[in-house]
C-alpha cells in the first residue's frame, strides 16, 4: 500500500517537473529556404530574404523574443535556363 502511494507521488512529481520546464528553451533548428530564377544574384538575395522570414516566423511561433542565428550557407546550381539557390542556417533559442 505504501509502495503504491510512493509510486503515484513520484510519478506526479515527475509529471509536474516535466510540464513546468519550457519546451523550446535551448533548442536548435535548421532553417532552409529555396529560390529559383534567371539571374544568380537575384536568386541568392531572394533566398536570403525567404530565410530571414522563415527564421522570424520560427521565433514568433515558439514565442521567442531573441534567437541566435549562425552563419548562413548558400549553394547555387545553374540549370538549363534557371538558377536554383538553397540557403540554410542553424537557429538556436
Find where cell 509536474 sits. 16
The pLDDT of residue 29 is 85
| pLDDT tens-place string over residues 54-90 | 899 888 888 888 888 889 899 999 888 899 999 999 9
| pLDDT tens-place string over residues 76-85 | 998 888 999 9
pTM confidence score: 0.64
The pLDDT of residue 1 is 54
Average pLDDT over residues 6-29: 48
Q: Which residues contact 32 (CB under 8 A, 6 or more apart)?
A: 51, 54, 86, 87, 88
The pLDDT of residue 85 is 92
Fold of 25-92: Endonuclease I-creI (3.10.28)
Amino acid at each position: 500500500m505504501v509502495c503504491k502511494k510512493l509510486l503515484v507521488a513520484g510519478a506526479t512529481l515527475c509529471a509536474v517537473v516535466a510540464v513546468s520546464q519550457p519546451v523550446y528553451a535551448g533548442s536548435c533548428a535548421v532553417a532552409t529556404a529555396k529560390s529559383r530564377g534567371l539571374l544568380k544574384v537575384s536568386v541568392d538575395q531572394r533566398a536570403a530574404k525567404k530565410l530571414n522570414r522563415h527564421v522570424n516566423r520560427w521565433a514568433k511561433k515558439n514565442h521567442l523574443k531573441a534567437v541566435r542565428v549562425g552563419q548562413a550557407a548558400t549553394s547555387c546550381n545553374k540549370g538549363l535556363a534557371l538558377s536554383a539557390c538553397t540557403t540554410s542556417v542553424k537557429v538556436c533559442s
